[in-house]
Structure 1
Amino acid sequence: MYIEKLIFQNYRNYSHLKINLHPKMNIFVGKNAQGKTNILESVYLLSTGKSHRSSKDQEMIKWDKENAFIKGEIITENKKKVIEIGLSKNQKKKIKMNGVPLKKRGDLLGQVHSVLFCPEDLKLVKGSPNERRNFLDQEISNLRPRYYYYLLEYNKILKQRNFLLKRIKYKNSFKDTLYVWDQQLVEIGSKIILTRIHFLKKINEFAKNLHTEITNNLEQIELFYQSTVLSNKEDIKNIKDVFQEKLKKNQIMDIQRGTTTIGPHRDDIKINVNQIDIRSFGSQGQQRTAALSLKLSIFELIHLEIGEYPILLLDDVMSELDQNRQNKLMDSLKNIQSLITCTDLNFLKENYPIENQVYQVKNGQLSMFS
């Protein structure tokens, strides 16, 4: 899988850009705030239908324009996919694949796979539970688009239940309808929990091997799914039963607080290294290595599931890694397409065996590096 061509119109700081990418390594070098990350963001956008750094589509439109356009031509399984995304300050985002409009962002998921590494990945380890849930949910959705719709449905039900809890606090008669939302929450929420548990198990197996290799057998990593439902069985019926029981047990507290205190929206991933919770007790080096192991695990899992390697996006991460971790990351680039941003080329060894193309980026303009 690789991107053959990218075209921008009024996207971020690019008035117009057309670039034919190398099927292997593409390096974008330049000073900060020149537009390097914007190129990687566009690939992530074509893969997921959203930005990895902005929740507002309007922020991706050039400041003095009303609309923006991003197009990618992708070769996958010897087939070409053309994905076009139109952004507007006044209308909803429009997505087309091979000229056919897609009704929902979820219809784009699973069409193109990419894995993004960036300095902010440290939040996966030391950030809030929400960071880890979002990471897990996004990666599952990319491989299992149906899961994305589970999340949408669950969040709608959760919003309605929380609204009802607030009303019950002031008018107890509304309590009679709470069981309806409880049943729906349990039905969808249990599917989310079970899917996450199974997915995390697969990541865990890859992470163990990768982390041991990166740390030269000095560290062992293990990932645990921490559920507020606390079911010990990977059985959908058991999870539903425990979930329902916990909702009843927490009902008074939920009404007092006006919010649902248990469910997949409150779950977390625990990351242990040598049996120690590194979120609380790990060094920054250990936390960074754990984040690298997590992302590389996703990379390998995608290859296992779809038979192709995803496109690898490395946003200014080489300067954050020591030599050993740089070498491990570079070793993973041999048979795939990668897009790398950097401020210098110190990480690129002379006579490096991977074919590559280097671009100079300056003020939203690209030129071949010489």
Structure 2
Amino acid sequence: MLCDHFCQAEGMYLQHLSLRYFRNYVEQQVKFQAPKIILVGENAQGKSNLLEAVEWLAGLSSHRTGRDRDLIQTNQPQALIQAEMVRASGSLELGAILRQSGRRSLLVNGELVARSLDFLGHLNAVQFSSLDLDLVRGGPTERRAWLDRVLTQLEPIYAHLWQTYHQILRQRNALLKQILNQATDASQLPLWNQQLATAGVRLMRRRHRLIERLGPLAQAWQEKISDHRENLALNYGANVTAATQAPEDLWQAFMEKIQARTVTEQIQGTTLVGPHRDDVELLINDSPARQYGSQGQQRTLVLALKLAELELIEAVIGESPLLLLDDVLAELDLHRQNQLLGTIENRFQTIITTTHLGAFDPAWLSSAQVMTVKAGLVSPTPP
């Protein structure tokens, strides 16, 4: 089978995916038998939903929605995602039960795991969709979410640290609202300031380290794809800055800034200091890509970021992650398509969605498994 050579390589390999009541899939079994899989079909048939299920297993979240209940079919109490895969360490089975209530059950090799931390890291995947153009064109929220998704895969503990910070943030915001409405005084605020700073520093240091590692990789890809015409720089636009990245320096800078903004925060009833207000500055030839980058430059930038993400995850975990390409070939010109498809080869198991097969040359198609998706049903494509 096409899998034989690939499965011996240092990469994870998805063999089987089961879905029940997930998005528009009632009951679906999909067997993956090649390093390159193409899902072809018209729009709104379920191609992206299948990739979304794999993405969810990798990060316990979807870039399309923040709520599990959006993934469950209407009038159904729960949805099921199940995957069988092979890694360098051996065979692995992952399962997830999503419920309308928001409560999840996560299984590794048939055993329930108590913490998300024990589930994350078993499957690594990089998703690239047309929505990723918002990394350049959108606001800071999209770029923060991207950083958080990458960090969750590199360091599963990050998901716990992120959750802790946002829990403290919600409680501090609730207190600021009470102060604004004169329902309480500000005596409790110093305690919450310290907790927010401690949790915030943990996120900021990891984000800064990620940008330091990702930046040179993305720069190299931007140069290569643009034939050395474009220079890309990534800067971490931290809301709190210090002379060094040492925890004590960052904590002190955080506390000083939050104390300086105390009056404004109490007037507005919300927290104005912390990593929830960070951004990533993307510069092409020293100019902000969002305002001054051409459409082609912006697309090259996003492609460079995704290829850098693949490279970094592979280097950190020691195995090639899965690559999920959701209808992006249509967004790229022929040169960028060739750069992307040439980079993939058989290095990453790749699942690609498309509305037609015209973008692929015959050699690429001959080594791929092609399946048709129609109305939530996946079937082999006739030769």
Is the TM-score greater than 0.5?
A: yes
Match in the other structure for 1:338: 350
Q: 1:236 and 2:247 equivalent?
A: yes
TM-score by length of 2: 0.92
Q: 1:231 to 1:84 in 2, by over 3 A?
A: same
Deviation at 1:91, TM superposition (A): 6.1
1:18 to 19, 29, 32: 29
Aligned ranges 1:84-99 → 2 under 5 Å: 84-90=95-101, 92-99=103-110
Q: 1:177 and 2:188 equivalent?
A: yes
1:16-41 CA-partner distances (Å, limit 9, x unpaired):
22221024000011111111111111
Q: Is the 8 A contact 1:23 1:336 kept in 2?
A: no
2:87 to 51, 55, 76: 76
Tell me which moved more, 207-216 or 350-359: 350-359
Q: In the alignment, residue 162 of structure 1 is paired with which amino acid?
A: N
Aligned ranges 1:154-169 → 2 under 5 Å: 154-169=165-180
Separation in 2 of the partners of 1:333 and 1:21? 17
Q: 1:20 to 1:177 in 2, by over 3 A?
A: same
Q: In the alignment, residue 217 of structure 1 is paired with which amino acid?
A: H
Match in the other structure for 2:17: 6
Q: 5+ unaligned residues in a row in structure 1: which ranges?
A: none
Deviation at 1:193, TM superposition (A): 0.8
Q: 1:192 and 2:203 equivalent?
A: yes
Q: 1:367 to 1:159 in 2, by over 3 A?
A: closer
Q: Is the 8 A contact 2:16 2:29 kept in 1?
A: yes
Deviation at 1:65, TM superposition (A): 3.5
Q: Is the 8 A contact 1:200 1:223 kept in 2?
A: yes
Separation in 2 of the partners of 1:361 and 1:171? 57
Separation in 1 of the partners of 2:166 and 2:66? 17
Q: 1:325 and 2:321 equivalent?
A: no
Separation in 1 of the partners of 2:118 and 2:366? 34
Q: In the alignment, residue 92 of structure 2 is paired with which amino acid?
A: K
TM-score by length of 1: 0.95
Separation in 1 of the partners of 2:18 and 2:225? 37
Aligned ranges 1:216-295 → 2 under 5 Å: 216-295=227-306
Match in the other structure for 1:349: 361
Q: Is the 8 A contact 2:323 2:349 kept in 1?
A: yes
Tell me which moved more, 212-221 or 6-15: 6-15
Q: 1:80 to 1:339 in 2, by over 3 A?
A: same
Q: Is the 8 A contact 2:17 2:82 kept in 1?
A: yes
Q: 1:91 to 1:219 in 2, by over 3 A?
A: closer
Q: 1:359 and 2:371 equivalent?
A: yes
Separation in 1 of the partners of 2:25 and 2:37? 18
Match in the other structure for 2:220: 209
Q: 1:315 and 2:326 equivalent?
A: yes
Separation in 2 of the partners of 1:286 and 1:38? 29
Q: In the alignment, residue 342 of structure 1 is paired with which amino acid?
A: T
Q: Is the 8 A contact 1:2 1:23 kept in 2?
A: no
Separation in 1 of the partners of 2:94 and 2:302? 30
Separation in 2 of the partners of 1:161 and 1:13? 39
Aligned with 1:272: secondary structure?
strand
Deviation at 1:131, TM superposition (A): 0.6
**Count of aligned pairs between the two proteins:** 370
Tell me which moved more, 80-89 or 129-138: 80-89
Q: In the alignment, residue 277 of structure 1 is paired with which amino acid?
A: P
1:285-327 CA-partner distances (Å, limit 9, x unpaired):
2112111111111100001101111100000110110111101
Deviation at 1:64, TM superposition (A): 5.0
Query: Equivalent pairs: percent with the same residue?
Result: 35
Separation in 2 of the partners of 1:175 and 1:165? 8
Tell me which moved more, 128-137 or 85-94: 85-94
Q: 1:25 to 1:167 in 2, by over 3 A?
A: same
Match in the other structure for 1:128: 139
Deviation at 1:173, TM superposition (A): 6.8
1:218-254 CA-partner distances (Å, limit 9, x unpaired):
0010000111212232222111111111111111111
Q: Is the 8 A contact 1:48 1:108 kept in 2?
A: no
Q: 1:166 to 1:18 in 2, by over 3 A?
A: closer
Aligned with 2:242: secondary structure?
coil
